[in-house]
Amino acid sequence: MAERRRSVGNDAPDGDSGDLNGARILIVEARFYEDIADALLAGATRALEKAGAVFDRVSVPGSLEVPPAIAIAADAAERSGRPYDGAVALGCVIRGETLHFEIVSQESARALLDLSVARRLPIGNGILTVDTNAQAWTRARPEEGDKGGDAARAALSLVRLKRRVATR
């Protein structure tokens, strides 16, 4: 007897399939490197708008503050009866001469993943972890690396998956 398989994955990785219209997305951006944050935000908002998602934006000082800000905002949205479908984390950590880089980059990534899994909240991680300012710019600019857009598309991909499996 042949086994039937159904795909529940993402058929439209660019977020342009139309099934995301009205998705509520939270963007939390770390503003420590303001210009880089602006470039990441430009890419993320472009991707969300293309997909028809609506979004709120919250700014925090640095990348370690991004995960708790997502948790706080998600709780408030849930209490108000307007939960977020997903979130996009944006920020930049540039290597310095101390262990601070390792702590911030590893702990922010760990906290985002823990938060996403524990709450089943799709989160796109757009926190850059780089050695130099030049590397950050190459990754942040929407016309080059577009890591802000990539983070938004990752979150949208998971939102799409969550919607598809919820209707089966």
Eight-class DSSP state of 65: G
C-alpha dist (Å) from residue 78 to 8, 89, 118: 26, 19, 15
The residues, ordered by sequence, that sit 6+ positions from 156 with a Cβ below 8 Å of its Cβ are: 15, 20, 23, 25, 47, 48, 51, 53, 86, 122, 124
Q: Which two tokens stand for residue 143?
A: 């016309």
* Helix, strand, or coil (residue 120): coil
Buried b (16+ CB within 10 A) or exposed e, 98-116: eeebeebbeebbebbeebb
| Helix (H) or strand (E) segment spanning residue 123 | strand 123-130
- Answer yes or no: 100 catalytic: yes
Choosing from 82, 100, 110, 163, the catalytic residue is 100
Query: What amino acid positions are annotated as catalytic residues?
Result: 100
